[in-house]
Amino acid sequence: MARETTLILFKPDAVSKNLTGTVLARFQEPGFVIRGIKMLRFDKALLDEHYSELTEFPFYPLLEEFMLSGPVIALALEGEDVIKTIRAMIGPTDSTKAPKGTIRGDFGECNRINMCHASDGPESAAVEIKRFFSEDELFDY
């Protein structure tokens, strides 16, 4: 097992529905620890950078509208195999296809309004964490 840190973004729907604490508690149950957490609003430049691989798709304007609609919470979470485990806990992107018991299956609405973003691998996690946190905003235990 590898000790890793991943980035999770609580999307505007998680924040507006006041579900961030509920979801965070699920993430902490396996023993994962918070290295950094903060609330922010995307601007267009940051959004385009974060979702750069999606900007050319026809659905991107709707994703952009949603992600700019309210604040998000950025979370750097650390633990053994945290990336794989968190992605399994979140479930597939389309909340309508996510099984009950997953974050998206329990709380998401659709393919776009789906509670959380989570890094898909160690390399993307490293890039994404640097995008949202400076070194002095990350803490070791």
Pick the catalytic residue from 117, 119, 125, 128: 117
Is 50 noted as a catalytic residue in this protein?
no
* Buried b / exposed e along 96-111 (16+ C-beta atoms within 10 A): eebeeebbbbbbbeeb
20-28 vs 82-90: helix crossing angle, rounded to 10: 140
End-to-end CA separation in angstroms for the chain: 19
Active site positions, annotated: 117
